Amino acid sequence: MKSSVPFLFAGCILTLSLFVASFFETYPLEALERKTYDLRAALCRKAISSPVVVVAVDRESLRRMGPWPWPRASVGLLLHRLHEYGARVIGVELLYSAKDTNPGLQEIRDIIRNFPGDPRLLQEDGINRVFAALKDAEKRLDNDALLATALAETDNVVLPVRLVFGGGGGNEMQETPLEGSLMKSSLSYFGSVHSSAQGVLLPLREFSQHASALGHTNHAADSDGIIRSEPLFLPYARRLVPSFALQLVLRYLRYDLEDVSIGRDALRLGDRQIPTFGEYRLLTGPADPATLTVYSFSDVLKGRVPAGAFRNRLVIVGGTTPETGPFVRTPLAPELPAPLLTAATAAGILGASYVTRPSWAFPFESLLLFLLGGTLFLGSPGRDAGVRIGFALLLVIAWTGAALHLFVLHGYWLKVTYALFLPAAGIAAMLVQRLFTGKGEEEEKPAGSEVIENEELRMVVGALTDAGRVREVNEDAFCIDSDVRLLAVADGIGGHSSGEVASRMAVDGIREYFRRGEKRQPPRGRNGFSADTTLLGDSVRSAGRTIHEAARSNLRWDRMGTTLAAVLLRKNRLSIAHVGDSRVYLARAGALEQLTEDHAVQEKTMRHVLTRALGLDPDVEADLTELTLSDGDVVLLCSDGLTAMVPDNEILSALRSARDPYLACTRLVKAANARGGRDNVTVIAAYAYRKSRSLS
């Protein structure tokens, strides 16, 4: 008992520590949990079936159109083409925050600038034509102006912005007025957030003023560099800037930013609800970016893609090579072009394919954690350890299966790492405790007990016999033979010393019968009993003949006899034989059952008279029975010195309260003597366990 106190204390500390770690999402357990998230996402990846289409600046386009960067006018031409094809929304994930540097255009502008300085040049017709040609060339070479014109004429293009985050703290930039286009593309916000952007990279003013909306392209990678969630809003200058993907979805569904209702754990958009966690983050779902519809930029520009491929579609234009745009890591792709992540996020929102962390997840996980802790640590390291570990592992398997099922079918993310870690730590704690106390399985055998075992069961057996408070001679006898797996109790009759002789001859006789019989072929079963039970009955009959013959050959032993209760263990079967009023009991599931029926009658004088005993007649038949033992059963053999003094309910209480069989026998003998001890009392208690369980 003392050794279990440190074990229980350590278990409480460990369980509470894991609870705190789960509350604060502590590394490294949270890092392991993210890996299980990745595994689940990979197991249930889904093909994308949505109106999202990607036009990629890919390797083939670079081969056909030359190295990057291209003239921005080519993007303007693509926008005209997509507009003609009926694209509902176009997202250009190419951030042009600085003016185009075209040396030829600059030379032409320098020449044009010199013309007004020399009035004579403007008087000649030829020079005027040259000037007009230069002005026309300036217009054709001004890629920024051409792209701005395409944006104005298209009027359904969403452009990206990039928020800049610094070290935080006292180095944060002061709030500055925002450009009007970003003001229109953000929401007022006066709450508190963990961190706010310090700056923003915007498209050129002539671009942003013609854009239908702006959205940030920042991604939220975890500490291992993998993106498992996307921030739908990020704070900057007391404003909430929506993500590029969210703005595309809003424009596709014909909503304005003001139509978004921001809740504690979800964004609401009409009848749609987008689940979020933390600071407006959307968990990346199982939508597989590899299944997106992607067309090459050059193919679209040259008209090689049918117009119907873009009608009423949400089209995202972006680079898919290292020189044209960034790459990111996700649970489904180790190297993914950023525009494909944007497309997968938008497709997940439109298709309502979400992964969410439900509000009840943490309380449920905590309840399971404490249930596992109680299962593992409420007990000593050796007491029923196998059962408790088995039950805990069963809980873990059930929980892991349920978590995977809920993730696949409903998109619920429930954390399993903490529940997996606790049984491993609990088993390790049990091993350390056993090593520290120096107790092996053999040393855990209770004092004063024997162990009888076979390939299926182990019976820990204790026995005690006492003369009682009245009798001077103890005429009871018992045997525990682990070799033949035999238990027996005998209560001698006949007076003087003959009763003691008869009881000893009985238990020794059946034991020797079995030891001699092991060299012979066992008999076949008779009268519906197994061969083992039949053999036990034969051994009792043989012992009865031996006692009868001994009584006839010695006058001092005349009319001696004995009762006998014997059991034999084979696998998980128990064979029982009895003669007289010594009894066999079975304690199971909180109840005590008498397995034998007394061969005795109560006379009018209240005198207890035996109707059958070994030795009084040459051939005495024993009553036989057999049963199947279960883990946790307790078998009790006793003489009538116990049952005449102690009621069944107290016998059961002693067997249940004392898991040490020798201690149980001691308590029962003391109880019989406390009530007068009018007869000899003998008790054998045998506790049955599966072989996988430790002795307690």
Give the model confidence (pLDDT) of 124-174 as tens digits: 554 555 545 545 555 555 678 888 889 999 889 999 999 998 754 333 333
Query: Residue 483 above 50 pLDDT?
Result: yes
**How many CB atoms are closer than 10 A to CB 171?**
8
Q: Is the distance from CB of 508 to CB of 479 less than 8 angstroms?
A: yes
With respect to residue 581, please indicate whether it lies within any of the assigned structural domains: yes
Q: Residue 405: helix, strand or coil by DSSP? A: helix
Examine the domain organization and report whether 476 and 543 are in the same domain.
Answer: yes
Examine the domain organization and report whether 309 and 420 are in the same domain.
Answer: no
pLDDT of residue 140: 54
Examine the domain organization and report whether 198 and 253 are in the same domain.
Answer: yes
Residue % of the chain over a pLDDT of 70: 83
Alpha helix stretches (DSSP H) within 529-578: 531-553
Examine the domain organization and report whether 96 and 108 are in the same domain.
Answer: no
With respect to residue 386, please indicate whether it lies within any of the assigned structural domains: yes
pLDDT of residue 44: 82
- Residue-averaged pLDDT of the chain: 84
Partner residues linked to 132 by β-bridges: none
Q: How many helices (H) and strands (E) does the chain have?
A: 20, 31
Examine the domain organization and report whether 301 and 387 are in the same domain.
Answer: no
Q: What is the pLDDT of residues 637-676, one digit of tens each?
A: 999 999 999 999 999 999 998 878 999 999 999 999 999 9
With respect to residue 291, please indicate whether it lies within any of the assigned structural domains: yes
Is the whole-model pTM more than 0.75? no
Query: Residue 380 above 70 pLDDT?
Result: no
pLDDT of residue 10: 73
Examine the domain organization and report whether 201 and 109 are in the same domain.
Answer: no
Q: What is the pLDDT of residues 410-458, one digit of tens each?
A: 888 898 888 888 777 777 766 665 555 444 443 344 445 788 988 889 9
Examine the domain organization and report whether 243 and 362 are in the same domain.
Answer: no
Q: What is the pLDDT of residues 70-82, one digit of tens each?
A: 988 899 999 999 9
Residue with tokens 């670079």: 62
Q: Is the distance from CB of 297 to CB of 321 less than 8 angstroms?
A: no
Examine the domain organization and report whether 16 and 83 are in the same domain.
Answer: no
CA distance 108 to 622: 124
CA distance 317 to 340: 10
Domain endpoint, select from 141, 171, 190: 141
Q: What sign for the dihedral angle of Cα 156, 88, 266, 229? A: negative
Examine the domain organization and report whether 303 and 378 are in the same domain.
Answer: no
Of 249, 399, 283, 214, the residue nearest 38 (C-alpha): 283
Examine the domain organization and report whether 517 and 632 are in the same domain.
Answer: yes
Q: Burial letters for 540-559: b for 16+ Cβ neighbours within 10 Å, e otherwise?
A: bbbbbbbbbebbeeeeebee
Q: Is the distance from CB of 333 to CB of 38 less than 8 angstroms?
A: no
In this predicted structure, which of 387-391, 418-422, 433-437, 511-515 has the lowest mean pLDDT?
Answer: 433-437
In this predicted structure, which of 255-259, 346-350, 355-359, 437-441 has the lowest mean pLDDT?
Answer: 437-441
CA distance 308 to 304: 12
Residue with tokens 């209480």: 653
Examine the domain organization and report whether 203 and 328 are in the same domain.
Answer: yes
Q: What is the pLDDT of residues 239-248, one digit of tens each?
A: 899 999 999 9
Burial label for 1, CB within 10 Å (0-12, 13-18, 19+), is exposed
With respect to residue 17, please indicate whether it lies within any of the assigned structural domains: yes
Query: Residue 9 above 90 pLDDT?
Result: no
With respect to residue 695, please indicate whether it lies within any of the assigned structural domains: no
CA distance 251 to 314: 9
Stretch (H or E) spanning 455: none
Phi and psi, residue 178, nearest 5°: -90, 155
Q: Which residue range(s) make up the domain with 595?
A: 449-690
With respect to residue 45, please indicate whether it lies within any of the assigned structural domains: no
With respect to residue 44, please indicate whether it lies within any of the assigned structural domains: no
Contacts of 277 (CB under 8 A, 6+ apart): 229, 265, 283, 356, 357
With respect to residue 442, please indicate whether it lies within any of the assigned structural domains: no
CATH code for position 512? 3.60.40.10
Domain endpoint, select from 350, 366, 395: 350
Examine the domain organization and report whether 240 and 298 are in the same domain.
Answer: yes
Domain endpoint, select from 90, 120, 141: 141
Tell me how many domains the chain contains: 4
pLDDT of residue 174: 39
